[in-house]
Amino acid sequence: MSYCVTPRCLAPENLDSARFCLSCGVQLWLNERYRPLQPISHGGFGRTFLAIDEDSPSKPRCVIKQLYMENASIEVMQKAKELFRQEAVRLQELGKHSQIPTLLAHFEQNRQLYLIQEWIPGQTLTEELRQNGAYNETQIWELLQDLLPIVQYIHNHRVIHRDIKPANIIRRRDDSRLVLIDFGVAKLLTDTALLSTGTIIGSPEYMAPEQVKGKAFWASDLYSVGVTCIYLLTQVSPFDLYDSVNDGWAWRDFLPPRDSVSDRLGKLLDKLLYPTIKQRYQSAADVLADLTPIQSPPSGTHFINLWQPTTGKSKQQNLASEVGVNYHKLKRLLSFRQWQKADEETWVVMCQACGKAPGYYLKTSDIQELPCEDLRTIDQLWVKYSGGRFGFTAQKRIYQQVDGDYPTFCELLGWSVHNPHVSNSAYRFKLNSPVGHLPSRRWVGGYYHWWHHAGVLAAKLEECAYKLW
């Protein structure tokens, strides 16, 4: 389907092959190369569409952003066009960052202004929250470590985002890195041409007090980062997290049962959220400086290291691999509770650790050759981010409790004894699944005695624990 982006077109949907809209007669392709497919979103000053770059051999998807001001005066529209051209250059510079969408083009067509930007496949944090539930403290630390360098980068380029919120942060599908989106020109016009209209650009729930009054500073973006964090922790609207009677944030009162936040993180978030700019962090670099000492989850999080003995020295290595496997993607997927993708990635890294191509079904002999450092890293990541609920050590403990009876072992884990034709249908990718339910056994192969994998893996864990001590 091709989509007509002309405002007020009565029947915007057209056939793929159409070059002109059958309803209003306007040319469908923008700049004679960008074919709109469908609308994504719309707001007071713009509309966004998914599109295809028909001029590129690979025909990649891209995003069309239309600066659309239906009732703007001639004076405001003229100023908007002038600033549009100036700021498009700045947006192009920002797009050189790997975690900001690249600006592909900017132009005017049919008296409308357009930006064409890179399409980022993935989920927004809003979608992620809806799917996986409230974040825990470890996830917030990792979010800050990933997001703040982007904020620092745009501030160094003299750009204030003005609308940082979960819906404008995408977790990129291929590497799980955060990408900051929606650098619409309308936001860059707030303090100039559009200010006289009395319209404030941004989302009121996430806006700093000074931004509500029409002024934005570097600290205003940091305030929005803080509000984003407390919303992700509580899954409660920021409007409800603010105590208007006592004129302060009451976000701690809305934390999910049994979840707590360390004093260190609490103080950091409070400093991001101060109503007065002077009390707040002044730059992203200042916040990052307070994050620097964190090399592992802070004391407020609870993670039992099942590999570490109670006495003596333990071999502590971060994401260690004896054969050079990169476990950062698995760590990110697990830290944001993307259990199914993490399960799929576990198969990939296990194959890599065994020197096999991804998708290879591992036999018992392969499990016996699995490097101990790699087995330890994979297991610790699962244990850590599930709070001890998942992981190979959890499965080993249950296997030993039932004296190796495989049907009973499967029953306790919530597995069927035999693999179904569609492997994903056999598993529940949720934290409330039975203890040991994940990672799955999708990687298990072998024609005879394949069910011995549980016993072989348990023995391998014992062997590796002994070696690592």
**pLDDT, tens only, 277-307:** 999 999 999 999 888 654 444 444 443 343 4
What is the token pair recorded at 98? 């790997």
User: Which of 438, 136, 468 shows the shortest CA–CA distance to 306?
Assistant: 468
Q: Is residue 306 in some structural domain?
A: no
Quote the pTM value: 0.64
Same domain? 276 vs 146: yes
Q: Which two tokens stand for residue 149?
A: 């360098």
Domain ends where: 291, 306, 340?
A: 291
Question: pLDDT tens digit string along 354-412?
Answer: 999 999 999 999 999 999 999 999 999 998 888 888 999 999 999 988 889 999 999 99
Q: Is residue 304 part of a domain?
A: no
| Domains contained in the chain, number | 3
Residues 168, 57 within the same domain = no
DSSP state letter for 317: -
- Residue 163 designated active-site: yes
- Residues 130, 243, single domain; the answer is yes
Q: Packing angle between helix 392-401 and helix 406-413, nearest 10 degrees? A: 130
The last residue of a domain, from among 118, 137, 153: 118
**Chosen domain end from 89, 118, 147:** 118
Q: Is 361 found in the same domain as 283?
A: no
Q: Could you tell me if 78 and 136 lie in one domain?
A: no
Domain check: are 138 and 255 in the same one? yes
Here the CATH number for the domain that contains residue 202 is: 1.10.510.10
Are 333 and 233 contained in the same domain? Answer: no
308 within a domain of the structure (yes/no): no
Judge contact between 262 and 137, C-beta under 8 A: yes
* Residue 212 shares a structural domain with residue 336: no
Which letter, b or e, does each residue of 420-429 get, where b requires 16 or more Cβ atoms within 10 Å of its Cβ? Answer: eeeeeebbeb
pLDDT of residue 230: 96
| Domain contains 71 | yes
Whichever domain contains 90, its CATH number is: 3.30.200.20
Same domain? For 45 and 162 the reply is no
When mean pLDDT is compared across 205-219, 312-326, 427-441, the lowest value belongs to 312-326
Task: Identify whether 322 is part of a domain.
Answer: no
pLDDT value at residue 299: 41
| Beta pairing class for 169-172 and 112-118 | unpaired
Residue 319, domain member (yes or no): no
From the candidates 163, 221, 366, 379, give the one annotated as an active-site residue: 163
Domain that holds residue 78: 2-118
Answer with the residue of higher pLDDT: 199 or 214: 214
Query: Residue 250 class from Cβ within 10 Å (0-12 exposed, 13-18 middle, 19+ buried)?
Result: middle
Q: Are residues 150 and 284 in the same domain?
A: yes
321 found inside a domain = no
**In terms of domains, do 203 and 285 share one?**
yes
Alpha-carbon Rg of the chain, whole angstroms? 26
pLDDT class of 256 with cuts at 50, 70, 90: confident
Q: Are residues 336 and 277 in the same domain?
A: no
Q: Write out pLDDT tens, residues 160-191.
A: 888 899 999 999 988 889 999 887 544 444 44
Report CA-CA distances (Å) from 87 to 80, 106, 188.
Answer: 10, 10, 7
Q: Which residue type sits at 23?
A: S
Examine residue 84 and state whether it is found in any structural domain, yes or no: yes
